[in-house]
Structure formats: structure tokens, C-alpha cells
Amino acid sequence: MSKITLSEPKVNAFGEQFFTEINHHAFLNQSSETVFKNYFANLLNETEQLFIIVGTDSGLLYQFVKNQPLKPHIKFVFIELSDVIQKLKLSVVDDVKGVQVVAEEFDFLTLHEQYETFVYRKKYKLIKSLAVMDAEPSSAYEKLWQNVEARFSAFNREVLVSQRSSQFEDARLYNAADNIFPVNSIKNHLKGATAIVLGGGPTLDDAINWVKNNQQDLVIFAAARVARRLVTEGIVPDFFVSVDPHDVSFDNSKGIFAFEKTAVLINGYHVNPKLLSQWAGLSCYMGLKYGWKNTRYQENIEPVGPTVINTAVHVATYLGCSNIILSGVDFCFAKGRSHESSSDEAKTASHISRKTHIKVVTNAGHFESTGPTLANARVALERQAKFYQKENSNTKLYSSGLDSAKVEGVEYLDTSAIDFLNPVTKHRLADLKQVLTISSQQRLDYARLTLDELQQQSKAFKVITRVADEGLDWVPKLYKQKGAEPKFKVMNKVQKLRKKVNRLVGEDGDLLLSYQGENFADTYTPVEQDLPLDSDVVTTQLNGFFQGVKQSTQQFEALILKAIERVQLRIDELEGKVALSELFKAWQTWDEFGRVKLWLNWHSGKSLTQDEQALLRQAQQAFQQEIEKTDTKQFQNLKRSAQNLETLVRKATDGFNQADSSQLDALLQHAAQLEAADQKRDLGYLIQGMQAELQQNEQQAIEFFKQIEQPDLKLLALKRILNFAMQAQRYEEALATLENLCLFSLDYMVIYSDLLALLGNESMAIEVLKMYLSKNPDNISAYIKLAQRQINVSANQEAQASLQKVLAVDPDNQTALHLLKSL
């Protein structure tokens, strides 16, 4: 919780109170209304939006919004420091106008409950108040923003996943013929075993030799992404765990194919299809085979998020393991790094570009940075540990990483102190593998069953589509004219069709709703409370319902056709009746040449022509090239991210604002490795200038900043130099710096004018403002400043003309009316 100490408030000429610790002198010469209209007027022009504003600007922004004639579907949530809420006596009770204040601990998940239509239609934004815009490094409002922004980003990701399940459902159906054994078929098969879960965090480097030396006494569950490291180290895992549907997961996990004869792949139903389809070893899946209801597949362990490690730990306990050691499971950037040393992330130093605003305590008692996903994974593991202890007090979780994040319910234990390994802990693995072994005929029968199931569901979706189409035909006939009462018979027909759709959809409603959430966006069109429904709203919502159902079912139909194509390929491979040349084309189309391994397993004794043998060799070579390829799309993306100047500058600014010298040190080392010489030079100067500034070495900082030539970096440097000059009251230097800043943005002319006025040169200040307004005639705040300066030099007629221009646009502008009255 961020703390702030407030002195007595200042009162401006308009009777408004504000705190200089929050807003400095932003409201000293102008009413808050004038200031806010300059910065936030565009918010009031929106027709449908939820604005989440960090800070209330001494309560003035909150009052300003409350006093505006807000449109019906505009809502505001202000997140404020608890100290400020208490000082201002702000109410945290919902406001009837849809404007409310909440404390900094505000849980974004409540947005789903309170503002469902805005969240579902993605009509919400996070906004900075003036206090946050002007916040100093490491100040209460800077920390508040960093904390809220991190939690808001995590919330956004959760919303995206919940409203767009297509990536998971696509993978689920592509995997339909390959997801054969559910994990619940091997429940408790490793009862009492000692397991180790290997993640890809930096502390894996510390424990890797111990794992290698003790692997015979451990059941090893490894995240698929560490497979390449295990090959190098000579460690043979018992299980790989993989859940990610994205293609990047395949690139990360290619190393698992070296262990097909020894390891079991435990995958989420939505694992990347290329990974599962080319796996020739034993496997079992988590979750349900289909997203729609199917009585044949009703029970199975679900993947537990948000990371594969949470799932791996859950699987280990489900199989009955009692002592579970975590290695490379850090949930933070241990020692400033994000991944173990052999990973692509470590090779490209991609962690440099990650947002690390959240801090956690490590097992060593130090504070370390982490990202939103890792932070959520740590909290999730705490809940898991609590659940496991409640279910079975013999289940113990241990962390072997001194620099890993501390997790309640997970005891830190150095590997040298582990004395409970059992040399016979793996003896049940053979039985487990026997359960997962299947003959080619059984596999063929399963593929045929899957084909029948998919065809039946395709027919069901076609029926729903036809009913939805009928509904879309009737909705336009509902009203004779806009504003009229709906036709009773038509409304009755539409309602019957809607009920029929709901009946046909049955328990699959959530599946259709979340597959592509935007399909149903119009269904959630917000309505006025306590007012009769407008005809446009009714037709929009009904059209949204039928159109959403139609689009989702049609998308599923198309997806099922692709899934059927894959299942038919499995049948063709197993039956051996289709020419190998046709199978080769199919493997090529799906980019899954690894299927050749499975085909050879099923048809090892089959007589082949020379052409067929050549095709098999070609497929094997293509797959091997894919596996050995290191310059992957992911590697290139990581490299670009780590070389992106905008990202690195943002990271440096974050480090400076948080006064995080270690982050700046790491960035400086990284900057020296940039490929572009000018970026390497200027980013280095910028970071060194920031470091010198944090060390309060002003002259050295200025020297570094002055050497910068890159335009974007030069702008930042000039702003820092201006800040030094203003704080030290070196006004001539400040004017020269502002002249350079005006080359980047004419808005700096306003500050230039302010400084001239401060120095007593009112006439020049007036001329500068006139030049600025000739290019920016809509800036009301600048016209008010011009009028104030014209009054200062007794140019009352000119001041009156300037104020009339303000009132022509904003007749109720309090500052302009006050000044006009004083003339």
C-alpha cells in the first residue's frame, strides 16, 4: 500500500482546495474545470465507455466528473490512495450517476460483476489523472500507477481468454483423434512417490547437477520447454507436461522428441496440435475431449493455470506423489533473469523488455521483480498448496531455489538437505505405462468413433444455424416503424425461436458464447435502467443473439470439418489402404512430417517400393530439419524485442521512475550489445544520465544527456535537462532548452511563454502565446493564459477578446467568467 503525507490544502481564487503534494500548482491560476477540460474533455464525448482513472487530483477531478451531464452509458471508477480517501472523506459507495471512488486494493474482477456490458464489449480504459502524469520517480502516485497498471494488464489477459476460447477449442478439435487416454485413467498410480517438477526458471541452473545425480530416485515431471536442456545434461525425465496451444510452444518444446521411448507426454486437451500429432510416445490428456456436452467423456482432471508449472504440480499430486520438489520454479526474475541459461530467452536477453513492476519476496528474504503472469502463478500455487494439505496432510511441497519467490505452503529446502529420496520410487512407472499402451487396431477403432462423434455434432450445429437464420428473418418485421409497439404475433414468433435456439444449444451455451466473444457483442448493448426498451435496442439485441449463435455455430462447423479431415488422415494411416504418396501430401499440408514415425511403427513389416522408401526418407529428413532448427520464429521475435529501442527506453524510464539502479545497470550492459551503433551509443548515454541523476550528480547527468543525437532519446534528454534548469532556477538555460524542445512539439511554446512571464517579460510571453494559438486555435487553456497576461500589461480590450473566444466555445468556463468580471 502506497503512503503519502499531506499538509494543509491550498485554496485558489475559485475557492477550490488542492494539495501541492498531489498536484503541485496545477490549479493555482486556473479553475480545475478549465484545467480538466483541457486534458479530459474528450472523455465526456464518448457514447459508451467505462473509464478507470488512477487518482482523483485532490478530489477535484472526481467532483468535476460528477458535475458533468454524463451520457447514459459513460461510467467512471476512480482508484485513489487510501490516505487521500480518508483525508478528503471521499465516499467509496456507488454513486447514482455511475461515478465511484475505490481504494487502491480494488479488485479488477469486480468489473465483471458490476460493469459486465462494458467488459464484455471491451469498452473500458485505464487513464492517468494529472497527479499520476506529474508524479515524481518513486512517489506514491508513481507506485500506485505501476501497481494498478500491472493488475489491469493481468485482468485484460483474463478477459481475452474468457471471451475468446477459439484458440483452445481449435486445438481441442484438431487433437480429437490423438487425445485417447484421459489422465484420470492413471490416477494414484504413483502413490507415495517422490517427484521433482522442473521449470525453466534461472534457479534450474543451480540444481541441475543434483537432479542429474539423483534422477534414479526421483519421478521427474518436466515442463516441455526444458527438454533441450535435459538432453544436454543427460537427464531422462519420466513425464513432460505441455498445455499451450500456440505455435511458439512447439518451438519451445521440440526437445521432447528425443525422449519418445522413455517419457510420457501429459498434455492439456488444447496442447499445440503439431506437438501432440508428431509425438510417437505414450500420452494422456487433461480436460474433456470436447467442449460440447458428450456423455462418453464426463470426468477428467483439468489443467490448472496460469502456467504449465501449476498444471505439472497438480498432475503430480493427482498421480499420488507425496513429496514434490520444485526446481527452476521461480515465479520471479531470479538474479535478474527470466529463464535458465540454455533457453532462447536467456540467449537473447529478452527479459530486458519485460514489464517488472511487481515485487515479491524470495526464499532468501530479498525483494525481486516479477511479471503479472508469474505473480498470478505464485498466488495460484499458494492456493493449490493449501488445497493439497487439506486433502492429504502427507502431501509436501518443497522449493529448491534460494532465489525463487517465497510461496506459502511450499517449504524452502536446499538440495543438500533433501534426505527423503527412495531408490524404489519409480517402481510403479511400468504399470502406469502399460495402462497407456494401445494397439494399432484399438487406435483405429478410437479414430472411427471420433469421426462418428464429430459428424453427429456437425449435424447438431447445422440445425441450430437454420433456426438462428429463421430468427434473423423475423426480427426486422418486429416493428412497423421506429418507436412503435412491437407486433405481438411477430414478437411471439421471435421469442419461440429464441427459446428453441436455447433448447437446442442446451448446456453448450457457454461454449458458443466464449468461442468468439465479439460475435455476441450486440447482445450486451447497454440499456437505460427503468426506461422502456427502445425499438432500436430491442432489434439490435435480438439480432445480436441470433447472429452470434449463427456465426459461432458456423465457425464450429468449419472447424469440425478440419477436425474430420485430421481424423480421416489417422484412419487412412492406420488402415494402410491409402497410397503413401497421398499421406505424404497430407503431412506436408499440415506441416507434420513427424507422422512418418507413427506410420512406420504401425507398418514396420510392410513391403515398400523404392519410391515409397524415398518418400519416407524425405519425410524423416524434413522432420529432423524442423527439430534441429534453432533460428525459429520465436527466437527472431525474442531477439527483435530485446533490440527494440522504444521498448528499452520505456524500460529505462520505468527503472528511473522506480529508482531501480540494478535495473538500469542491467539495461546499460544490454545497451552495449545492441546491433545499431547509434542506438547503442545514445541509449547508453541516456541510461548513464539517469544513473547520474539518481546519484544526484547533476552535472554528470547533463553531460551524458547533451551527447544524445537520436531524436526520440534527445527529446527525453532535453526534458531531463529542463527539469534540472528549472529546479536550480537557471532560467536562461531553461529557455534555451525549451527552444530546442519546441522543435519536437509546439506545446512547449506554452511552457516557454510561462517562463518568460516568470522572468517579467510579459510582452514576449504574450507574443509567444499568440504564435502558438495561431497554430492551435482550439486550446482554451492557452487563450486563458493569454488573457491573464494581457490583463497583467493592462491590455484589457485584447484580454476581453481572448476571453470571449473561450466563452464562445465554453460559455460556463469559470476561469474565463472570473477574469471577465475582474476587468
In terms of average pLDDT, the best of 106-110, 518-522, 614-618 is 614-618
> What gap in Å lies between CA 725 and CA 685, rounded to an integer?
19
Q: Is the pLDDT of residue 405 over 90?
A: yes
Confidence at 687, pLDDT banded by 50, 70, 90: very high
* pLDDT (tens digit per residue) in 501-545: 888 888 887 788 878 777 777 666 665 554 455 677 788 888 888
Per the DSSP assignment, residues forming a β-bridge with 265 are: 240, 283
| Of the listed ranges 221-235, 341-355, 523-537, the one predicted with least confidence | 523-537
**pLDDT score of 25:** 86
Q: Exposed e or buried b for every residue in 353-374, given b needs 16+ CB within 10 A?
A: bbbbbbbbebbeeeebbbbbbb
Mean pLDDT across 428-450: 95
**pLDDT score of 491:** 86
Confidence at 643, pLDDT banded by 50, 70, 90: confident
* pLDDT (tens digit per residue) in 133-181: 988 877 899 889 988 888 888 888 777 766 668 889 999 999 999 999 9
**pLDDT score of 439:** 95
> What gap in Å lies between CA 823 and CA 783, rounded to an integer?
16
Confidence at 351, pLDDT banded by 50, 70, 90: confident
- Which contiguous run of DSSP H or E holds residue 285? strand 282-286
pTM value is: 0.82
Above pLDDT 70, what percent of the chain?
A: 97
Q: Is the pLDDT of residue 91 over 90?
A: no
Q: Amino acid identity, residue 439? A: S
Q: Amino acid identity, residue 595? A: R
**pLDDT score of 531:** 43
Mean pLDDT across 85-114: 81
**pLDDT score of 530:** 47
> What gap in Å lies between CA 394 and CA 384, rounded to an integer?
14
Mean pLDDT across 356-376: 88
Confidence at 619, pLDDT banded by 50, 70, 90: very high
Short-list 393, 212, 400, CA closest to 317: 393
Confidence at 123, pLDDT banded by 50, 70, 90: confident
Q: Exposed e or buried b for every residue in 397-426, given b needs 16+ CB within 10 A?
A: bbbbbebbbbbeebebbebeebeeeeeebb
**pLDDT score of 110:** 80
Of residues 442 and 92, the one with the higher pLDDT is 442
Q: Write down how long the chain is.
A: 823
Above pLDDT 90, what percent of the chain?
A: 53
Q: Is the pLDDT of residue 425 over 90?
A: no
Q: Is the pLDDT of residue 112 over 80?
A: no
**pLDDT score of 437:** 96
**pLDDT score of 488:** 85
**pLDDT score of 440:** 95
**pLDDT score of 327:** 97
* pLDDT (tens digit per residue) in 76-87: 999 999 999 989
Confidence at 27, pLDDT banded by 50, 70, 90: confident
Residues 6+ apart with CB under 8 A from 738: 722, 748, 751, 752, 755
| Of the listed ranges 216-220, 475-479, 634-638, 801-805, the one predicted with least confidence | 634-638
User: Mean of the per-residue pLDDT values for the chain?
Assistant: 89
* pLDDT (tens digit per residue) in 259-306: 999 999 999 999 999 999 999 999 999 999 999 988 888 889 999 989
Confidence at 217, pLDDT banded by 50, 70, 90: very high
Q: Is the pLDDT of residue 95 over 70?
A: no
Mean pLDDT across 229-235: 96
> What gap in Å lies between CA 684 and CA 690, rounded to an integer?
10
* pLDDT (tens digit per residue) in 569-610: 999 999 999 999 999 999 999 999 999 999 999 998 888 999
In terms of average pLDDT, the best of 175-189, 423-437, 715-729 is 175-189
* pLDDT (tens digit per residue) in 725-745: 988 899 999 999 999 999 999
The answer to whether 735 touches 753, Cβ cutoff 8 Å, is: no
The answer to whether 642 touches 674, Cβ cutoff 8 Å, is: no
Q: Is the pLDDT of residue 390 over 60?
A: yes
Q: Is the pLDDT of residue 32 over 60?
A: yes
Half-sphere exposure of 296 (CA within 13 A, CB side): 9
Q: Cell numbers at residue 332, please?
A: 520471479
* pLDDT (tens digit per residue) in 478-498: 888 776 788 888 888 988 988
Would you list the DSSP string of 132-190? Answer: HHTPPTT-HHHHHHHHHHHHHHHHHHHHHHHH--HHHHHHHHHTTTT--SBGGGGTTTT
Q: Amino acid identity, residue 308? A: V
Cell 541523476 belongs to residue: 693
Specify the 3-state DSSP secondary structure of 362: strand
Q: Is the pLDDT of residue 316 over 90?
A: yes
Per the DSSP assignment, residues forming a β-bridge with 100 are: 77
Q: Cell numbers at residue 489, please?
A: 404475433
